[in-house]
Amino acid sequence: MKVKKLITAAVPMMLLFGCGVEKTDSTNKEKAAQSQTVVKKEKVSKEDYPNKINDLCVEFDEVFAEYNAVTEDFLQGKKEKEDVIAKLKELNGVVDKFLAIDPPSEYKDTQKDVEKAMNHYIKSFKFAEDSFNAKKNAKPSAKDFMDKATVELEEGDKYWKKFNKALEDKVTFGDGTITIKDLKELDKKAGIDVDAIEKHLSKDGKELIGVWGFNDPSGFMVSLILKEDKTFETYGKGEYPDKKNLLTGKWEYIPNTHTFVLHIEKMFEESVEVQDAQRSVRYQIQNFDGENIQLFNAGTFNTIKYVKQK
């Protein structure tokens, strides 16, 4: 099990839509955001602290994944605004558990980073809620609130990564002999390297732009073309440049979770356009060094390894 926070498109996606449904008193809400709930402190021992933090990280991941799913359903008209806000409150409940920890002296500095991360997330979730409540054309606008939410989210991520890094060789599993650091080494043997992704891939995903495919004795086989205008084309194996079997649409990179999404708009099979082909396919980027990329589709359990055409 790895410590990894699932901050996905839920916040940035809101910038693409007019989410406002009603006007709020933003001044009062911002004041309320500054007054946090006082939580009862829980003393945690030196032996228990690393795994306590890890367990809360896992819980945070699970609730945030649910929040993302509810947000996407809301944008598609399948859920109500109240459903999204309820998930934000649930997230804040997990945040309170982080803040309730009274750490041992050995981990006081680590806990400071935990608290800095959580305080940024509290602000981010509050701005996200304000965005859902903001009326269209109001000032501040829904977009203004979401811009603030994104900034706070990214600041929180910096401290999240810092305290997770400090604990990766302390969190143990099984009989206590395996650590997160050990699991990272096992991941690398399977071609998974999150550190390489963060080193070589920027937040806007511009390094993904290019022609991707496979090296073959007969030459380079084009499979996926990612363009600067965020459109894409995918071809049947060995069929490029023939467009008889083709997918086109928009591509998206979600940096906080290293998620790559193909939003399919058109599909052609044997030169005939397939009706109602619109859908989105998500991949987890497992490795990226600028010249090679490893993608994993959790729905099909399919792993794809592309090489970038030089």
Average pLDDT (133-149) is: 89
Please tell me the distance from the alpha carbon of residue 138 to that of residue 147, in angstroms, as a whole number. 15
Residue 294 and residue 175 share a domain: no
Tokens of 137: 């054309």
Angle between helical axes of 108-133 and 81-99 (0-180°, round to 10):
170
Q: Could you tell me if residue 87 is inside a domain?
A: yes
**Single residue among 189, 208, 233 that ends a domain in this structure:** 189
Average pLDDT (199-218) is: 94
For residue 203, the model assigns a pLDDT of 87
Is the model more confident about 162 or about 191?
A: 162
pLDDT at 11 over 60: no
Secondary structure of the chain in HEC code, one letter for each residue: CCCCCCCCCHHHHHHHCCCCCCCCCHHHHHHHHHCCCCCCCEECCCCCHHHHHHHHHHHHHHHHHHHHHHHHHHHCCCCCHHHHHHHHHHHHHHHHHHHCEECCHHHHHHHHHHHHHHHHHHHHHHHHHHHHHCCCCCCCCHHHHHHHHHHHHHHHHHHHHHHHHHHCCCCEECCCCEEHHHHHHHHHHCCCCHHHHHHHCCCCCHHHCEEEEEEECCEEEEEEEECCCCEEEEECCCCCCCCCCEEEEEEEEEHHHCEEEEEEEEEEECCEECCCCCEEEEEEEEEECCCEEEEEECCCCEEEEEEECC
Residue 282 and residue 141 share a domain: no
Q: Could you tell me if residue 212 is inside a domain?
A: yes
Is the model more confident about 97 or about 27?
A: 97
Q: What is the pLDDT of residues 227-282, one digit of tens each?
A: 999 999 999 888 999 999 999 999 999 887 899 999 999 999 999 999 988 889 99
Residue 276 and residue 155 share a domain: no
Residue 136 and residue 58 share a domain: yes
Q: What is the pLDDT of residues 155-176, one digit of tens each?
A: 998 999 899 889 988 887 655 5
Residue 86 and residue 52 share a domain: yes
The domain that holds 219 is classified in CATH as 2.40.128.370
Please list, residue by residue across 125-139, b when 16 or more beta carbons sit within 10 angstroms of its beta carbon and e when fewer do.
bbbbbbbbbbeeebe
Q: pTM for the full model?
A: 0.60
**Single residue among 135, 158, 189 that ends a domain in this structure:** 189
Residue 207 and residue 185 share a domain: no
CA nearest 246: which of 265, 230, 259, 227?
A: 265
Identify any residues that bridge with 212 across adjacent strands, giving them in sequence order.
Answer: 224, 308
Place of tokens 């990179």: 253
Q: Could you tell me if residue 204 is inside a domain?
A: yes
Positive or negative, the CA dihedral 258, 202, 113, 40 is negative
For residue 131, the model assigns a pLDDT of 92
Q: Which of 62-76, 106-120, 132-146, 275-289 has the highest mean pLDDT?
A: 106-120
Is the model more confident about 31 or about 285?
A: 285
Q: Could you tell me if residue 80 is inside a domain?
A: yes
What total number of domains does the chain contain? 2
Q: Could you tell me if residue 3 is inside a domain?
A: no
Residue 226 and residue 147 share a domain: no
Q: Could you tell me if residue 85 is inside a domain?
A: yes
Residue 147 and residue 32 share a domain: yes
Task: Among 55-64, 183-192, 289-298, 299-308, name the one with the lowest average pLDDT.
Answer: 183-192
Q: Could you tell me if residue 4 is inside a domain?
A: no
Domain carrying residue 227: 200-308
**Single residue among 189, 214, 238 that ends a domain in this structure:** 189
Residue 260 and residue 141 share a domain: no
Q: Could you tell me if residue 1 is inside a domain?
A: no
Residue 129 and residue 20 share a domain: yes
Residue 159 and residue 17 share a domain: yes
Provide the CB-side half-sphere exposure for 148 (13 A, CA): 16
pLDDT at 93 over 60: yes
Q: What is the pLDDT of residues 14-55, one digit of tens each?
A: 322 333 333 334 444 444 444 455 678 999 999 999 999 989
Q: Are 53 and 94 in contact (CB under 8 A)?
A: no
Residue 216 and residue 164 share a domain: no
